[in-house]
Structure 1
Amino acid sequence: MKRSTALLFPVLAASILLGCGNSEAPKQASKEASAEPAKEAAPSAGYLDKIKARDKLVVGVFSDKPPFGFVDEHGTYVGFDTDIAKRLAKDLLGDESKVEFVVVEPASRIPFLQSDKVDLILANMTVTPERAEAVEFTNPNLRVAVQAIVADGSSVKKLDDLADKTTIVTTGTTADIWLTKNHPDWKLLKFEKNSESLQALANGRGDAYAQDNLVLFSWAKQNPGYRVLADKLGSEAPIAPAVKKGNIELRDWVNVELSKLGEEQFLLKLYDQYVRAQLADGTDPKSVIVEGGKWEG
């Protein structure tokens, strides 16, 4: 099904975004940064003092992945992940505006931690054994499965039907990694940005797009004419914030924060603000959020 290039990834309704405070303007991450070599692991002691001395928490976020990290109609970076970052800045530095957002792409999340461009990644990163070797994951805040979306008129009914098709993926995502490992003979069309991948799907450049199912459910609801395949690419997995390998102090502090936020159901409030309207009616919030960092697989 060919779709117009005008079919862009939607911005959430302005009414949902009222009350979201502005933060310091984010810096756009350069593509070259992802190629930089990793530096030595961050020392675990004194890192919180370093952030306090700087008087700013630097967080890597997405700019094109509603409802988690995106730009609203005012040019402000908002979403489920960015609001968590603001709350962390408030609890650590006394002011939610003391956060600097650095835009990352899926493939640059780990390199940006390794090269000290950010203190923390809050960019919808699924926990995998391979990534856990490169970064320190905190306790999880979300759960996700990877699926694929196709046009309603597509002949594709199940995942195996994509064997002789073109599947769009965003470089560095769990979908990209899983398909490359488990179906190396499949044709993958890769883009750096989630928005570019979805635009390619809308333009008919591929037969399917594989991504986190929360993103696909949201996009399908906003763009009638698409359906999400029932098959999952691998099993359900946790999503968690991440810090540089060896930065135990910051990791443990975030874990304590997630536990405290769980006591006030903070993630449920963000779910109601950003996520609930994007999913099917009756979706159980516990199937999406992990309150208090307590994962139950």
Structure 2
Amino acid sequence: MALGVFAFGLGAAGSAKAEGKLQEVLKRGKLIVGTGSTNPPWEFKDASGNLVGYDIDIARLIAKGLFNDPSKVEFVVQASDARIPNITTDKVDITCQAMTVTAQRAQQVAFTIPYYREGVGLLEPKNSKYADYAALKAAGSKVTISVLQNVYAEQMVHQALPEAKVDQYDSFDLIYQAVNSGRADAAATDMSALRWYLKQNPGKYTDAGYGWNPQTYSCAVKQGDADWLQYVNTALREAMTGVDFEDYKKSFETWFGETPPEPKIGFPSEMR
């Protein structure tokens, strides 16, 4: 009798394993992704009201691997403070929302391999009297930097420009307007936003050529399901270095205005 109970237990365990997130998603026929809607170039609504952006493309690449159809995605628009709760309560299968990896968050969710390295950059007008970052730094307290209001904003700017004056504004539009009006010599902003803004305004602005305050962006899934995490990591890796690189490259060029390095043929460089 005990042997029979043990055998039944093994069968039940095997069945439970087969019904992990990967199998659940495949049976459902669509991927449910938590994301935002107001953060270009990551995730935002275009003129037609459609969700677009780099995170949206990443989600579609994951869906393409699942169903050979990148359209089989349901997007759940969520606030940034819902990114972790919606994973842990199974409201979404995965969150792709410009999410910074931290050791604290990694205690609550499982992070995928990185798909972007964020940082802070300096956006200058094309006709600036300061040619680059070195010139801005050399000018010391003569320079004014506009930045999005934050408790750490002044400290963050001073990591790169210790003597600069710092003006804080409550929206990205206002920090760029400060540069346009001459109230600020440069705007300190996310490097991804800087690249997006340069692409949207060709010939009007320039990158001062310095980045700092690095942050890793990854998607996040629920802890405890190794098969699901392994699948997503495989889809992301092969987008960045393998069979789906052309789709990935097109997305990267669209949202950041630059071409990612081509995967080198031969020994996989990521194994070095």
**Do structure 1's residue 77 and structure 2's residue 51 form an aligned pair?**
yes
The amino acid that maps onto 2:233 is N
Give the conservation status (yes or no) of the 8 Å contact 1:67–1:275: no
**Do structure 1's residue 213 and structure 2's residue 219 form an aligned pair?**
no
State the partner residue of 2:229.
251
Q: What is the CA RMSD across the aligned residues, in angstroms?
A: 4.5
Alpha-carbon separation, structure 1, partners of 2:96 and 2:138: 29
Q: For residues 245 and 211 of structure 1, do their structure 2 counterparts lie closer, same or farther at Cα, with a shift above 3 Å needed? A: farther
State the partner residue of 1:271.
249
State the partner residue of 1:179.
156
- 1:87-135 Cα distance to aligned partner (Å, 9 max, x none): 3224324543331112345454334334443221222334333433332
Which of 24, 45, 49 pairs up with 2:23? Answer: 49
Alpha-carbon separation, structure 1, partners of 2:97 and 2:150: 14
Q: For residues 252 and 71 of structure 1, do their structure 2 counterparts lie closer, same or farther at Cα, with a shift above 3 Å needed? A: same
Alpha-carbon separation, structure 2, partners of 1:64 and 1:265: 31
- 1:230-245 equivalences in 2 (<5 Å): 230-235=209-214, 237-245=215-223
State the partner residue of 2:260.
285
Shift of 1:216: 0.4
Q: TM-score, normalised by structure 2?
A: 0.63
**Do structure 1's residue 86 and structure 2's residue 86 form an aligned pair?**
no
- 1:232-284 Cα distance to aligned partner (Å, 9 max, x none): 2234x5432211344433212101223444564424433235526853xxx55
SS, match of residue 250 in structure 1: helix
Alpha-carbon separation, structure 1, partners of 2:229 and 2:176: 39
Alpha-carbon separation, structure 2, partners of 1:257 and 1:54: 19
Alpha-carbon separation, structure 1, partners of 2:141 and 2:80: 23
- 1:148-199 Cα distance to aligned partner (Å, 9 max, x none): 3355658892499699967533879xx97x839x79xx978475xxxxx321
Q: TM-score, normalised by structure 1?
A: 0.59
Alpha-carbon separation, structure 1, partners of 2:237 and 2:124: 38
Q: For residues 95 and 230 of structure 1, do their structure 2 counterparts lie closer, same or farther at Cα, with a shift above 3 Å needed? A: closer
Alpha-carbon separation, structure 1, partners of 2:129 and 2:188: 15
Give the conservation status (yes or no) of the 8 Å contact 2:146–2:178: no
State the partner residue of 2:207.
228
Q: 5+ residue gaps in structure 2?
A: 1-15, 263-267
State the partner residue of 2:148.
169
Bigger drift between 147-156 and 255-264 goes to: 147-156
Alpha-carbon separation, structure 2, partners of 1:271 and 1:170: 33
Give the conservation status (yes or no) of the 8 Å contact 1:145–1:212: yes
Q: For residues 271 and 64 of structure 1, do their structure 2 counterparts lie closer, same or farther at Cα, with a shift above 3 Å needed? A: farther
Between structure 1 and structure 2, the one with the greater Rg is: 2
Shift of 1:59: 0.9
Q: 5+ residue gaps in structure 1?
A: 1-42, 192-196, 288-292
State the partner residue of 1:63.
37
Alpha-carbon separation, structure 2, partners of 1:118 and 1:222: 32
Q: For residues 132 and 49 of structure 1, do their structure 2 counterparts lie closer, same or farther at Cα, with a shift above 3 Å needed? A: same
- 1:183-223 Cα distance to aligned partner (Å, 9 max, x none): 9xx978475xxxxx321223439846444313202203423
State the partner residue of 2:112.
138
SS, match of residue 261 in structure 2: helix
The amino acid that maps onto 1:100 is E
**Do structure 1's residue 119 and structure 2's residue 93 form an aligned pair?**
yes
Alpha-carbon separation, structure 2, partners of 1:159 and 1:48: 54
Give the conservation status (yes or no) of the 8 Å contact 1:169–1:211: yes
State the partner residue of 1:102.
76
- 1:9-24 equivalences in 2 (<5 Å): none
Alpha-carbon separation, structure 2, partners of 1:238 and 1:265: 24
Identity of aligned residues (%): 29
Q: For residues 159 and 97 of structure 1, do their structure 2 counterparts lie closer, same or farther at Cα, with a shift above 3 Å needed? A: farther
